[in-house]
Amino acid sequence: MTKTKWALVLLGVMDLILMIMHLTDYFILFLKPTGYMIPFGVNIIVLSVIGFRSSKSYKVWTIIGLMLGIPILLLQGFIVLLTDNSYAKIDSPYGQRSLVIEYRHFSLGETTYFYNFYKTTFGFIGKRLNDQSIRIIISGTEHPVGLGAEGVLGVGNEQWIADNIVRFSTWQGMKEVYLNPSESLVIAAEIEAFMDKARNKDSGQTITVNGNRLEIRYDEASGQSWIDVSSDEEEGAIPRQQCSRVVPNEELRYYMLEECTHQWEYPLYPMTRK
């Protein structure tokens, strides 16, 4: 196979991979700030070199291709410049997993901040978390002086409350990003089932949430029931103690442990979006 054919094969493979990734919401993260300008530019350069080294007819088609391709490349550059996205990355304490934040804002009497999220394991390829985007609107009179887009989201003060959930203390309150939304739905369903068992005083039933082990206890003599909270090697977010119940808090959008030994309540797990 000639060098020209090899170049065309490699170019075709690159384009096919990028197309498949785009259709499945996967992205090469270092390309995100410039969109597809680099791959598109590589296509133009490689095809131009091949065209000008070929017969006269190919040179004509190469010139036509350049006349069409360069304006498209310039348009892509203008779109990237117009969107003006910025990026930040936060690493998980649970291993190699990270969350990449894509954000931008615009002001027109009020400032609107947009945040998109990508989960990544090694920081090279990221998958966009659909339905996890956040929009925060702050009126001009309420906007804190000197607070930028990262500060509005709470970047730097985020909390990994599980290996697949990041909680941000945003300017408009707590918001969670789910790296595995389907897994969170399963855990939420398990908590709902556990709540039913606790109401039925089904002693001995257990569930583990974010490193905490919850076990239902029932004393027949007194007719009292409670929930023992413990964790292996004290790795759970909630200290070892006893609580009365688990209840959903619609306002906070959290399942809460209530009437506990050390304090009235603890946030146990976010209520997933439905």
pLDDT at 197: 94
Q: In this predicted model, which residue has the larger pLDDT, 80 or 13?
A: 13
Q: Phi then psi for 269, rounded to 5 degrees?
A: -160, 140
Could you tell me if 86 and 149 are in contact, meaning their C-beta atoms sit under 8 angstroms apart?
yes
- Residue 212: which residues within 8 A CB-CB, separation 6 or more? 229, 230, 231, 236, 237, 238, 268
For residue range 37-92, what is the model confidence (pLDDT) as tens digits?
888 788 778 777 777 677 666 666 666 666 666 676 667 666 666 667 899 999 98
DSSP state for residue 30 in the 8-state scheme: G
For residue range 193-243, what is the model confidence (pLDDT) as tens digits?
999 999 999 999 999 887 789 999 999 888 899 999 998 666 667 889 999
For residue range 184-194, what is the model confidence (pLDDT) as tens digits?
778 889 999 99
Q: Which residues of 92-128 are buried (b: 16+ CB within 10 A; e: fewer)?
A: beeeebbbbbbbebeeeeebebbbbbbbbeeeeebbb
User: How far does Cα 57 stand from its chain's mean position?
Assistant: 50
Average pLDDT over residues 245-250: 93
Residue reference for tokens 């498209």: 72
The pLDDT mean for the chain works out to: 83
